[in-house]
Structure 1
Amino acid sequence: MNPIRLDSFDVFAAIVRCGGFRAAALERGVSSSALSQTMNALEDALGIRLLNRTTRSVSPTEAGQRLLDRLAPALSDIQLAIAEVDELRDSPSGTLRINAPAPAIDHYLCPLAFDFMDAYPDVKIELISDAAVIDIVEQSFDAGVRFGKQLAQDMIAAPLGPSLRYAIVASRDYLERQGIPKTPHDLVGHDCIKRRFPGGTLVTWRFVHGAEELEVTPAGRLTVSAAQNEVQAALAGRGIAHVLDDYAKPYIRDGRLVELLSDWSPTLPHWFLYYPNRRLPSAAMRAFLDYMRSYDWQAKG
Structure 2
Amino acid sequence: MVKASLFELEAVTAVARTGGFRSAAQSLEMSASALSHAVASLEARLGVRLFNRTTRSVALSAAGEQFVADVAPALAAIGSAIETIGERNAEPSGTLRLNTSAGAARMLLVPLILDYIRRYPGMEVEIVTEGALVDVIGQGFDAGIRLAEAVPPDMISIPIQPLLYSAVVGAPSYFEKRNRPTVPSDLLQHTCIRARMASGRLYRWEFERRGENLLIDVPGRLTLDESSLMLEAAIAGAGLAYLSEYAVAAHVAAGRLVKVLEDWIPPYPGLCLYFAGRRHIPAKLRALIDLIRSKTDLPV
Please indicate, yes or no, whether the TM-score normalized by the shorter chain is above 0.5: yes
Query: Any residues of structure 2 matched to 1:58-137 within 5 Å, and which?
Result: 83-84=83-84, 87=87, 90-137=90-137
Match of 1:265 in 2: 265
How far apart in 1 are the matches of 2:88 and 2:108? 30
Q: Is the 8 A contact 1:173 1:237 kept in 2?
A: yes
Measured against aligned partners, the alpha-carbon deviations of 1:173-209 in whole angstroms (never above 9, x if no partner) come to: 1011222111111111211001101332111101001
Secondary structure at the aligned position of 1:188 is classed as helix
Distance 1:82-1:127 versus aligned 2 partners, 3 A rule: farther
Query: What are structure 1's unaligned runs of at least 5 residues?
Result: 8-46, 49-72
Rate the CA distance shift 1:111–1:92 in 2: closer, same or farther, 3 A. same
Decide whether the 8 Å contact of 2:132 with 2:199 is kept in 1. Answer: no
- Counterpart amino acid of residue 117 in structure 2: M
> How far apart are the structure 1 equivalents of 2:166 and 2:83?
40
1:266-286 Cα shifts (integer Å, max 9, x gaps): 010111111111111111111
Change beyond 3 A, Cα 1:193–1:95 = same
Residue of structure 2 equivalent to 1:218:
218
- Misfit runs of 4+, over 3 Å: 1-7, 76-86, 149-154
Q: What SS class does the counterpart of residue 228 from structure 1 fall into?
A: helix
Q: Matches of 1:198 and 1:176 in 2, distance apart?
A: 34
**CA offsets per residue over residues 67-87 of structure 1, 9 Å max, x none?**
xxxxxx99x969958954750
Alignment match, 2:207? 207
Equivalent-residue separation in structure 1 for 2:122 and 2:82 (angstroms): 16
Letter in 1 for 2:292: M
In the alignment, residue 108 of structure 1 is paired with which amino acid? L
Moved more, 224-233 or 153-162: 153-162
Q: RMSD of the alignment, in Å? A: 3.0
> Is the Cα–Cα contact under 8 Å of residues 83 and 283 in structure 1 kept in the other structure?
no
Classify the secondary structure of the residue corresponding to 2:274. strand
Aligned-partner Cα distance in 2 for 1:2–1:214: 64
Partner of 2:238: 238
Preserved contact between residue 194 and residue 224 of structure 1 (Cα < 8 Å): yes
1:142 maps to: 142
Q: 1:238, 1:126 → 2: CA distance?
A: 35
Q: Name the residue aligned to 2:178.
A: 178
Shift of the 2–275 alpha-carbon distance from structure 1 to 2, 3 Å rule, reads closer
Q: Is the 8 A contact 1:154 1:276 kept in 2?
A: yes
Change (3 A) 1:3 1:156: closer
Equivalents in 1 of 2:237, 2:258: separation in Å?
11
Change beyond 3 A, Cα 1:223–1:85: same
Say whether the 8 Å CA contact 1:169–1:260 is kept in structure 2. Answer: yes
Identity %: 34
TM-score, normalized by length of structure 2?
Answer: 0.71
How much has 1:154 moved relative to structure 2? 3.7
Stretch of structure 1 that moved more, 80-89 or 288-297: 80-89
2:10 corresponding residue in structure 1? none
What aligned pairs does 1:19-58 form with structure 2 within 5 A after superposition?
none
Unaligned runs of 5+ in 2: 1-19, 29-55, 58-71
